[in-house]
Amino acid sequence: MADLFEWSEAYHIGIGDIDEQHEELVALLNRLNAAIHERQGSKAVRRTLDELVNYTREHFAIEERLMQESGYPEYEEHRSYHDALIDQIHALQAKLDKGEASITFELLHFLRVWLIRHICDVDQRFGSWYVENGSRPAWMEEAQRAMRQRRWWQFWRAWQ
């Protein structure tokens, strides 16, 4: 079975830490696709969706903190795109919990298209701006380590 989304260098935005997180988001989306194709069952599919959602939420928080700290002029607009996706996913999760929806290939297609468009448009703009105006903050090393190890709570507890 082919991946739903093939990562390529064309999706790099110029911020290594964010590029690594984007690549992981693609891998999680591909895992969700595989879970559905392999008919792993609704609980397994839901666990994978929840992992994707949690990773996405934490990725957005890191990206937004970089934007705020670097004075990115399009921060509010960019954040609104993140908020809209998280709201849509929370609504879907509520419907799944009530048995009013299922995880379908249409959902996967929506997430794939959203991610491609987001990376290739608003994230590219941020990446170009950040390369010229930003610098890697000291906290990013700890954030990346937490993201790689899926131990977000340790990083965020210390961060708050």
Do 54 and 37 contact (CB within 8 A), yes or no?
no
- Residue range 73-90, pLDDT digits in tens: 999 999 999 999 988 888
Check if the beta carbon of residue 21 is closer than 8 Å to that of residue 52.
no
pLDDT per residue as tens digits for the range 42-56: 778 788 888 888 889
CA distance 83 to 61: 10
Q: How confident is the model at residue 160 (pLDDT cuts 50, 70, 90)?
A: very low
Total residues found in the chain within this entry? 160
